[in-house]
Structure 1
Amino acid sequence: MLHGTDRDGSDLDLMVDALPDATLFDLGGLQDELESLLGVLVDLLTPADLAPKVRAKVPAEAQPV
């Protein structure tokens, strides 16, 4: 959506700053809840999940929601 290249069936990529005590179950639950609320597939990542080659680029282009 950010670049205007989304299409029907596109997923929504979201980066979250998880709390230090958040578990994978917490993040998975958040992803499921967001998919239910938004009606689209959600790809939920933390900054640490990003590949090294995009670690600087993605946060610089990110838009808060």
Structure 2
Amino acid sequence: MNSIIIYALTTFSTLIKRTSRPADESGEGVVSSAVAVVIFSALGVAMWYAFRDTMNTATTMINSQVALLGN
């Protein structure tokens, strides 16, 4: 009887150790994902401003060239 109880306890503790994560790594995936989202958001904002400025410059140059064609 004692050997069955010991076997059950060791099996249970082994399963707990295999399925549980260490406490110091909990939430690491969430933090890493949040950092990635912030970085990509900053890159997206920078790309939007670069695109907007490029298109504004191109529009100004095209309008001036079209105005020259009409003269």
Larger radius of gyration: 2
Q: Same fold (TM over 0.5)?
A: no
Question: TM-score normalized by structure 2?
Answer: 0.24
Question: TM-score normalized by structure 1?
Answer: 0.26
